[in-house]
Structure 1
Amino acid sequence: MNLLMAVLLSALPILVALLANTALSLEFHFYRNSCPQAEMVQRKIVKQHFNKDPSLSAGLLRLHFHDCFTRGCDASVLLDSKGDNVAEKEASLNLSPRGFEVIDEIKLELEKQCKGVVSCADILALATRDGVALSGGSSYHIPTGRRNGTISTIGDVQLPGPSFSIDAALSALINLDLDDLTTLLGAHSIGFCHCGFFVDRLYNFEGTGLPDPDLDPGLLDSLQKKCPIPINQIFNISIDPTVFMTPMTKTPFNLDSSFYRGVLDGEAILLLDQELAFTDVTRTLALTYINKPNVFRGKFSKAMIKLGNANVLTGRD
């Protein structure tokens, strides 16, 4: 009996650790008892906004990406600057995401029904998931239980830029690989893009004074008409013109694999997207998605789940 007790006691710390890790992990239907209507409420609000503006899905995707790429998926991108602290949302690359007001509306409604229960981090992940489904993607299931971060500092923002190379983008990723990067860039099949993010490709690519030679001539002509040479070199996103992310397709609000056809045809407006055509791995993956759209839909869902699990806060964090 003494020997058995000694064995049990020696194993106790390991058992406690395992139980703690289980308790603090994300789980499906985390709010099933504390706020069972949470997902239904937020889904209804997202759909209402989407019906008025189908570009909302792209805004939520970008908002979720930008949140997860800085300190993990903790909703810190939603926090405002306070006192001497400048928050993440003030960073230049964080001026383009949209959908803040939708997250606010969902949170306000859920606070009426389940005060202090549902985190903004989960709301953002779930709203993004529903936006994907409304735009033609798969309606994937995501575990919940994320806690909100309380730290948001502009200096922590290290996002892959629109002119990054594939290698540079990979080095900036959190828990994602080349396959995930290629797949998640498919989100650029929907929504708008500000001219300032790619105007150098139209007039002065890499300081040559000429357009990017890899850009389709027909697309170049169309984009130059919509995006004139900037007179003011300071990028002001509030007045900067926008174009569809996939200007040569007829489905700018459909999340599908048509984006990859544009990449291979030299019709990607962002340099990072166009880079996918120039490596064997990414080009092969693009061809697979073009020929097998359902494979893209399934892998996009898996990559989104993986992204949404990045450095999450759980339990009492």
Structure 2
Amino acid sequence: MTRWVPPLGLRFSLPLLLLLLAAAVIAPVHAYGKLKVGFYRQSCPDAEAIVRRIVTMAVEDDLTVTAPLLRLHFHDCFVRGCDGSVLLNSTKNNIAERDAKPNLTLDAFNVIDAIKEKLEEKCPGTVSCADILAVAARDAVSLATKVVTKGEWSEGGSLYEVETGRRDGRVSSAKEAAEELPDSFDEIQKLIKRFKSKGLGLKDLVVLSGAHALGNSHCPSLEKRLRNFTAEDDMDPTLDKAYAATLKQQCTSPDDNVTEVQMVPGRSTTFDSTYYRLVKENKGLFHSDEALLSNGATKMLVYGYMSSEKRFLKDFGVSMVNMGRADVLAGSEGEIRRTCAVLN
């Protein structure tokens, strides 16, 4: 019998082979690999139905609640990953994320609290606050999307399916939120870097920027674009002049935290691809919106989504799932909070 001899490229010494096998065994497994659609199917079968019911009631009461629910999930995932840390209250020893300057205009915490209270009655200690944020965001944007509510998208009435199984984090830092959250004045390279840090690429950046189709902003987020932009330009030269004049009439004071400006004028409660047309016309509300035109790849995506709403909605669901995997806790990590605003 002829003894088989491995090719030169496959020959290992026994110690080296054992070392390689050991490395394979202890290789890290990303927590998002433990997420799955229908995670609560056995432990809390009505979990997603309860979330949907309460979000629907909130939207019926106030159409503008969709944007804050979507924004809560974004702001959660960009700081320490999607772990519900944005919901924690500050304590005497710690200033939490929700009290960071970029988060002072966050809203809809009461909707999340109502969902959590109902889920704790139904399935105590089972559904995480982080998962509530993810499902509520999906339901909010689905209810704002006409092709979904008309039944033209899916039988379940959802824009995409949500992976669940996240656990809640125990740390929340205002300092980290101030450093890590995307800023409305970010240039394209800064945006690319921020998204890359969460495992998100150029396509995700452009698609998720489409969330600006919903909701309103406040004057301080665009003030620099309107006055004293640089020593040479009073206004941001990438902003349409007529649109800038309209915004100046709305935002008369740089310290105006009360006046709200619609992200998409006249359509701020409808989720569609209109946002991309505005970006192309230099009428994106934020400098970070116009920044998408300063990179060849992101500009091409803006033009593509402007001309194909179906493609945008499909890709938005994919990118939301991608973002929802960012630095998640799973298995025995973290905790399942009984109240979203405080640690157990």
Q: Say yes or no: TM over 0.5.
A: yes
Please tell me the root mean square deviation across aligned C-alpha atoms, in Å.
2.3
1:42 to 34, 37, 51: 51
What fraction of aligned residue pairs are identical, expressed as a percent?
39
Say how many residue pairs are matched. Answer: 300
- In structure 1, list runs of 5 or more residues that go unmatched: 1-9
Partner of 2:40: 31
- From 124, 138, 148, the counterpart of 1:129: 138
Other-structure match for 2:186: 164
Cα displacement (A) at 1:236: 6.6
Q: Aligned-pair distance for 1:84?
A: 1.3
Using a 3 Å threshold, how does the CA distance of structure 1 residues 156 and 17 change in structure 2: closer, same or farther? Answer: same
Contact 2:32 2:326 in 1 (8 A): no
Contact 1:203/1:229 (CA < 8 Å) preserved in 2? no
Residue number in structure 2 paired with 1:223: 247
- Structure 1 91/208 Cα, relative in aligned 2: closer, same or farther at 3 Å? farther
Q: Match of 1:144?
A: 164
- Once the two structures are superposed, what CA deviation does each residue of 1:201-252 show, in whole Å capped at 9, x if it has no partner? 112213446122222222122111110033xxxx574xx31110112xx322
Indicate conservation of the 8 Å contact 1:23/1:315, yes or no.
no
Q: Which residue of 1 aligns with 2:127?
A: 118
**Do the aligned partners of 2:226 and 2:235 also contact (CA within 8 Å) in 1?**
yes
Q: Determine whether 1:177 maps to 2:204.
A: no
Map 1:153-302 onto structure 2 (within 5 A).
153-157=173-177, 158-173=180-195, 174-208=198-232, 210-230=234-254, 235=255, 237=257, 240-247=258-265, 250-302=266-318
Instruction: Decide whether aligned partners of structure 1 residues 24 and 260 sit closer, same or farther in structure 2, where only a CA change above 3 A counts.
Output: closer
Q: Distance in 1 between matches of 2:238 and 2:21?
A: 62
Distance 1:23 1:215 in 2: 39
1:303 equivalent in alignment to 2:319? yes
What residue number does 1:54 align with? 63
Q: Give the deviation of 1:16 after TM superposition.
A: 7.7
| Letter of the 1:186 counterpart | G
Q: Secondary structure at the match of 2:327?
A: coil
Structure 1 runs of 4+ aligned residues shifted over 4 Å read: 10-18, 20-24
Equivalent residue runs for 1:90-129 within 5 Å = 90-129=99-138
CA distance in 1, matches of 2:55, 2:69: 10
- Name 1:3's counterpart in structure 2: none
- In the alignment, structure 2 segments of 5+ residues that lack a partner are 1-17, 149-157, 334-344
1:196–1:316: structure 2 CA closer, same or farther, 3 Å change rule?
same
Cα distance in 2, alignment partners of residues 122 and 172 from structure 1: 23
Query: Cα offset for 1:116?
Result: 0.7
CA positional deviation for 1:99: 1.4
TM-score normalised according to structure 2 size: 0.82
Structure 1 position 101, deviation (Å): 0.7
| Aligned-partner Cα distance in 1 for 2:49–2:159 | 14
1:94 partner letter? N
1:270-304 CA distance string (max 9 Å, x none): 00001112322122111111111101001111000
SS at match of 1:106: helix
Query: In the alignment, does 2:91 pair up with 1:71?
Result: no
Q: CA–CA distance in 1 between the matches of 2:31 and 2:181? A: 31
CA distance in 1, matches of 2:118, 2:21: 43
CA distance in 1, matches of 2:24, 2:65: 45
Q: Partners of 1:273 and 1:244 in 2: how far apart?
A: 14
In structure 2, the CA distance between the partners of 1:183 and 1:114, relative to structure 1 (3 Å rule), is same
Q: CA deviation at 1:89?
A: 0.9
Q: Counterpart of 1:47 in structure 2: which amino acid?
A: T
Q: Does the C-alpha gap of structure 1 residues 161 and 33 become closer, same or farther in structure 2, counting only changes over 3 Å? A: same
Q: Kindly tell me: are residues 15 and 219 of structure 1, through their superposed partners in 2, closer, same or farther at Cα, counting changes over 3 Å?
A: closer
Match of 1:5 in 2: none
User: Which residue type is aligned with residue 227 of structure 1?
Assistant: C
2:219 and 2:260 in contact (8 A); partners too: yes
Change (3 A) 1:22 1:131: closer
Cα 1:206–1:316 change in 2 (3 A) is: same
